A and B are shown apart, each in its own frame.
Chain A
């Protein structure tokens, strides 16, 4: 054990956890990383490419090395950073990316073969033979590379999603964030304070600075107590704000129960979309390391992280308490680690600093030089220090490295703002054009001293509120350290050997040199050639160091070399939480028809039609193939009577003195002359003259119409009509509203339909004389229930559609089936509906596909020249009006052959290509009425080619059928049945 005293952990509460099957003890307040370090565990994983032993590098979300797999079974989660994993009793973790035990990884052979794995090696190596790539090389590389593995099972955890609104979103709860939240909180505005850590305080928890002469943690505790008491402040620990999106919306993931042994069903994480009027980005800074040969051994970590482990988590970075620690730094801040560790009783033997004028802050040896090599395969044992050309090996159990700090500008550049180089800070700071309403404060904008962070946070809040017209008082800030850490531009140690820049992707200085030699110099090319900055850490600890190395090679300044723009997410976000908890059939909502229960009870097979579930066909005992059911339903309708729920068709109520004129302009055909109590078929054109929807229009009274649309276009037609009403013709006195859901509508079709309906209407005369084809009426049924009746037919038979308030739809269907049993009343689904409309030659979605015109549909004469309507003029334009393709019917010459929809039509004996294409089959079905396959489709001059045999070619399946061109009306072409 290397547990120290003090810290911000609860020494009294022990938590047991396992790592690679071995049980350890940690403390409440530990992360997995701090608990492992406190147990003397330095080796926690293997590197991506070379399988090098790796230890903890950082103490935050920037961690590239300490990636572990948490939990097990379906809940297994790979690539989780041990540095931000809050310890709980029973936590199970294991290392990843090794074959065999962690300390004897067989794949470590890769390290010996490293010369073969230089940057871009797979672009060069696996070029030949080409066929080997997919079958051999790629599987091989995928097996060898990669980090953790997915369980491959469905995620059993529960997730949630939600929306929050606030005046000020404060991102980060360190010194700057707390000061901002406090200032805004006291001003009474709605504040959200979010931090990815489970404890607020940021670096204040990791440092020994005093505030007002007291430990900083005391100030943090007092501030948190005050903020907790403010109703207008929402504290969101364990919440990562991962992205800045448009209109002041931020994406955030709250880890609700990742830190406990959650019960089944308990929400694991919640996705929040936060709409903030203003935001303060106080995300702090990330320390960078200094690349030098063999700088990746377990035990080598960032100096600031080492300090955090000692001060916050009371954990020494060494395996044994007596192991000496050395610090390698180019700045004063690194020295602070030495003094803090010494104060904790950790032996620090030396601080190595390349600066000639480096100061000394404590009782340690100051060596003006560099660390340029290390030893210790599974854990650091010694480092080589070179001073004035003289090298010596010094025993060392842990090495703290500090190369300065990079402001965490990520979220500030999510809207493409380019960070700018600050030569004084030796860092990129947020540039111009930040996300609207965002102010960056504290170390994230280079204001890194405690005093500056506090002040900039407070000022950011005051400015943010001022922009909202709210005057906020400046708060009293505690006295704090304001000494900026002096540093020098020292980017890497130039020595022979592999010096890692990006630990996660195993990218070394040599790789960058190679990329430079191969002319992959722009940072975008450098990234893709070397994979630097990719993967889970997105180069948080490596990007700037890599830029500096490339700048040195190109002889350019660092800002001239380039910079990095960041995209969301700031840290990895699970796909499950983006789903927000709704998966499977609940991924999107489903619409049920009013007769769904009855249909289900009748054995319906349902089909998705957009959001709707409609009965497709009703399987009866003895039917083993869907065609049997469909054929039976079709014949039942044509011989007796069938019942089908057609509620899904859109219903738009149109009222007003100008309703008739409005509809004249919406439909291409004349609608204003429609008599009260009558229905007319109508066709709507798009502005470009193509047909886009059809349906019926019923006139219930002088100023009251009901328009029906196709199921697919219900919302589109309504939207277009509203646009026309509000924007095109605001002078027309008309009102529109959808009533699709309000009425259950049932098609009653077949020669017995009149008889059946007469059994349910309340004394309504259904005779042909009183209620002829295309009549409509409001009436009552079944003892006084208000209803609407339309005599329209899609099947070509005598048919009606009856509508009742939706709650009665199921009962009416049941009643119709019951009282019509002796008439052969049969439920039919969308398949039979489709067969019958093809038999009748009625157009549907396949014919109204957005590429066809009224003329093509043989409805050209419907486009009235007596009035204007949407699309009418454009339908007559040159090039469109001359289209000679016409909707016709087709029958296979050999009746046993089936016609396939989508087949293209060719004249017999012609070569087949796009220039000889004569049209295509739009819809096809087996017609039990005709006794063969039938089809409709568009054929060049089709109406003049009746009787001709053409080829319906289906080259995808290598088939062709000889088909005869016939009338599209396979049933009752004279229309006598529906008028009887």
Chain B
């Protein structure tokens, strides 16, 4: 175990959290990520009990979850496993696939609503140009947000994860917070 102290994408010790109205925005610093790509002619593997979801989808599973990112490419998620060598775990489960460590490539903000999807809808329609009618539970997509590229994952009726490039974390955080504040 290293004695170096990790900091969050926002340069802090503790994850960011912000609550306003019916919304809670919480930085998930414990989300481990690894990309998985199939080689030519390979079939999609099952990683620790999770099968690879279809285009534009997110798949929850017993140990890990996964979302589609590109043709023959997925991100595997390990909740609470950011301090592990998660890419090595995924690689061991799919030795023929190309796997890269992505945990610190991204900052993940979980946005929760305490009042159904409506408050989330109010926030998202200010941020991203997507038809929220089609953004059902289990959808994962990539889109632009304030000139940045983000992944959006609808994990439940009241929970959406917005994932942006780690080095843009402060700008993404500002966009989320200021937009939530303007919803007053």
Contacts of B55 in A (CB 8 A): none
Contact (Cβ within 8 A) A163 B125: yes
Contact (Cβ within 8 A) A162 B167: no
The answer to whether residues A808 and B131 also contact, given A741-B167, A742-B105 and a CB cut-off of 8 A, is no
Does A266 interact with chain B (Cβ within 8 Å)? yes
For residue A874, give the distance in angstroms from its CB to the closest CB of chain B.
Answer: 29
Cα–Cα, bound, A164→B129 (Å): 7
Complex interface residues of chain B between 88 and 142 (CB less than 8 A to chain A): 98, 100-106, 125-133
Cα–Cα, bound, A592→B6 (Å): 16
For residue A95, give the distance in angstroms from its CB to the closest CB of chain B.
Answer: 33
Interface size class of B (residues with CB under 8 A): 35 or more
Find B98's partner among A267, A611, A655, A807 (CB 8 Å cutoff).
Answer: A655
Contact (Cβ within 8 A) B6 A811: yes
Contact (Cβ within 8 A) B146 A582: yes
For residue A973, give the distance in angstroms from its CB to the closest CB of chain B.
Answer: 37
The answer to whether residues A591 and B125 also contact, given A586-B174, A742-B104, A783-B2 and a CB cut-off of 8 A, is no
Complex interface residues of chain A between 806 and 847 (CB less than 8 A to chain B): 806-808, 810-812, 815
Contact (Cβ within 8 A) A161 B126: yes
Contacts of A593 in B (CB 8 A): 167
Contact (Cβ within 8 A) B7 A811: yes
Considering the complex, give the chain A residue whose CB is closest to the CB of B172.
Answer: A589
Does B50 interact with chain A (Cβ within 8 Å)? no
Contact (Cβ within 8 A) A164 B125: yes
Interface size class of A (residues with CB under 8 A): 35 or more
A-contact 0/1 string along B14-32, CB 8 Å cutoff = 0000000000000001000
Contact (Cβ within 8 A) B39 A590: no
Contacts of B39 in A (CB 8 A): 656-657, 733, 735
Contact (Cβ within 8 A) A597 B7: yes
Find A163's partner among B2, B4, B105, B130 (CB 8 Å cutoff).
Answer: B130
For residue B175, give the distance in angstroms from its CB to the closest CB of chain A.
Answer: 8
Cα–Cα, bound, A743→B106 (Å): 11
Contact (Cβ within 8 A) B133 A190: yes
Does B81 interact with chain A (Cβ within 8 Å)? no
Considering the complex, give the chain A residue whose CB is closest to the CB of B39.
Answer: A733
Considering the complex, give the chain B residue whose CB is closest to the CB of A715.
Answer: B149
Does A568 interact with chain B (Cβ within 8 Å)? no
The answer to whether residues A589 and B35 also contact, given A739-B102, A806-B166, A810-B7 and a CB cut-off of 8 A, is no
Cα–Cα, bound, A275→B132 (Å): 12
Complex interface residues of chain A between 625 and 671 (CB less than 8 A to chain B): 647, 653, 655-657
Considering the complex, give the chain A residue whose CB is closest to the CB of B123.
Answer: A162
B-contact 0/1 string along A247-277, CB 8 Å cutoff = 0000000000000000001110000010100
Cα–Cα, bound, A162→B182 (Å): 12
Cα–Cα, bound, A406→B68 (Å): 53
Contact (Cβ within 8 A) B125 A162: yes
Does B43 interact with chain A (Cβ within 8 Å)? no
Contact (Cβ within 8 A) B146 A589: yes
The answer to whether residues A160 and B172 also contact, given A742-B105, A782-B3 and a CB cut-off of 8 A, is no
Contact (Cβ within 8 A) A589 B171: yes
Find A655's partner among B37, B72, B105 (CB 8 Å cutoff).
Answer: B37
Considering the complex, give the chain B residue whose CB is closest to the CB of A787.
Answer: B2
Contact (Cβ within 8 A) A808 B128: no
Contact (Cβ within 8 A) B133 A815: no
Does B51 interact with chain A (Cβ within 8 Å)? no
Complex interface residues of chain B between 162 and 178 (CB less than 8 A to chain A): 165-172, 174-175, 178
Contacts of A741 in B (CB 8 A): 104-106, 165-167
Contact (Cβ within 8 A) B85 A786: yes
Contacts of A590 in B (CB 8 A): 168, 170-171
Cα–Cα, bound, A686→B162 (Å): 36
Cα–Cα, bound, A596→B167 (Å): 10
Complex interface residues of chain A between 359 and 389 (CB less than 8 A to chain B): none
Cα–Cα, bound, A690→B9 (Å): 38
Contacts of B62 in A (CB 8 A): none
Find B35's partner among A273, A597, A737 (CB 8 Å cutoff).
Answer: A737
Contact (Cβ within 8 A) B171 A586: yes
Considering the complex, give the chain A residue whose CB is closest to the CB of B174.
Answer: A586
Contact (Cβ within 8 A) B101 A805: yes
Considering the complex, give the chain B residue whose CB is closest to the CB of A588.
Answer: B147
Does A477 interact with chain B (Cβ within 8 Å)? no
Contact (Cβ within 8 A) B98 A656: yes
B-contact 0/1 string along A4-41, CB 8 Å cutoff = 00000000000000000000000000000000000000
Cα–Cα, bound, A491→B125 (Å): 48
Considering the complex, give the chain B residue whose CB is closest to the CB of A190.
Answer: B133
For residue B152, give the distance in angstroms from its CB to the closest CB of chain A.
Answer: 13
Contact (Cβ within 8 A) A785 B168: no
Find A160's partner among B104, B166, B182 (CB 8 Å cutoff).
Answer: B182
The answer to whether residues A782 and B11 also contact, given A735-B98, A741-B167 and a CB cut-off of 8 A, is no
Does B158 interact with chain A (Cβ within 8 Å)? no
Find A739's partner among B9, B29, B105 (CB 8 Å cutoff).
Answer: B105
Cα–Cα, bound, A179→B101 (Å): 56
Contacts of A737 in B (CB 8 A): 35, 37, 73, 98, 100, 102
B-contact 0/1 string along A589-626, CB 8 Å cutoff = 11111101100000000000001100000000000000
Contact (Cβ within 8 A) A740 B105: yes
Contacts of B9 in A (CB 8 A): 806-807
Does A165 interact with chain B (Cβ within 8 Å)? yes
Contacts of B182 in A (CB 8 A): 158, 160, 267, 581
Cα–Cα, bound, A804→B38 (Å): 26
Contacts of B165 in A (CB 8 A): 591, 741
Cα–Cα, bound, A783→B40 (Å): 38
For residue A914, give the distance in angstroms from its CB to the closest CB of chain B.
Answer: 40
Does A784 interact with chain B (Cβ within 8 Å)? yes
Contacts of A596 in B (CB 8 A): 11
Cα–Cα, bound, A582→B37 (Å): 37
Cα–Cα, bound, A273→B144 (Å): 14
Contact (Cβ within 8 A) A163 B11: no
Contacts of A740 in B (CB 8 A): 105, 167
For residue A228, give the distance in angstroms from its CB to the closest CB of chain B.
Answer: 16
Cα–Cα, bound, A265→B183 (Å): 11
Q: List 12 A-B contacts (CB under 8 A).
A: A164-B125, A586-B171, A589-B172, A590-B171, A591-B165, A592-B167, A653-B98, A655-B98, A733-B39, A783-B1, A805-B104, A811-B5
Name the 8 nearest CB pairs between A and B, nearest first.
A589-B171, A742-B105, A655-B98, A806-B104, A735-B37, A785-B2, A165-B131, A811-B4
B residues at A contact (CB < 8 Å): 1-9, 11, 29, 35, 37-40, 72-73, 82, 85, 98, 100-106, 125-133, 146-148, 165-172, 174-175, 178-179, 181-182, 184
A residues at B contact (CB < 8 Å): 158, 160-165, 190, 265-267, 273, 275, 581-582, 586, 588-594, 596-597, 611-612, 647, 653, 655-657, 704, 733, 735, 737-744, 781-786, 804-808, 810-812, 815
7 extra interchain contacts, Cβ-Cβ under 8 A, other than A273-B129, A597-B7, A740-B105?
A: A162-B126, A612-B167, A655-B37, A656-B98, A735-B72, A742-B101, A783-B2
